[in-house]
Amino acid sequence: MRINDRYTFVLNYFQEHMPVAETELHYENTYQLLVAVMLSAQCTDKRVNLTTPAIFHKYPDIVTLSETDFDALFPLIKSISYPNSKARHLISMAQMVRNDFDGEIPMTVDELVKLPGVGRKTANVITSVVDHQPNMAVDTHVFRVSARIGLTNKATTVLAAEKQLIKHIPKELIHIAHHWLILHGRYTCLARTPKCEKCGLTEVCKYYQTLQKTATPS
């Protein structure tokens, strides 16, 4: 199957079966989303959603977060993975937004990655979710699912996978395709025990086809 045909099949499938796809992080504005995404690194969305209400109550905006200190913030995020570094990054991020960006969270990848604790993946999430920019955030789910299906070819880094995905996905679909791949990886194409029997993509999935070829005849 040609790569373009594979993408067409996958995108058409998701458009039909998952027309609404969005982040499972709870947020009400860009500030809250940025905090939640920073906390979500190496941590589940469920755990983040249990943690952020107390943070947003005590620090409702960039200014209040920028004025706090480690000892005050740490107890609120101690159940999150890597709480020490994340607490420091959150405070430093807020201070930079306040001082260097007039209190407004920037909306370009190049500017966002200047913020402490904000990498390319986080910047891609913010710009695609908030502004629907054609940026593809590649997390572990996106990386695994796109490789298994065959949307990426021998991509050994997340950046390589990102470049291949945005090359073939129409710009107007990139922001939602990110969520399609994440949710498919989270609930169907699981890392250890993928639910191939419930997957509608087996017809074009390289991983599934390989499993079929190697299966021992009964």
Write out the binding residues for [4Fe-4S] cluster: 189, 196, 199, 205
Tokens of 173: 């679909």
- 194 three-state secondary structure: coil
Residue numbers annotated as active site: 121, 139
Annotated binding-site positions: 189, 196, 199, 205
Residue 95 CA: distances (Å) to CA of 17, 69, 126, 151: 42, 11, 18, 40
The per-residue b/e assignment along 137-153, b for 16 or more CB within 10 angstroms, e otherwise, is bbbebbbbbbbbbbbbe
Q: Number of helices (H) and strands (E) in the chain: give both, helices first.
A: 12, 0
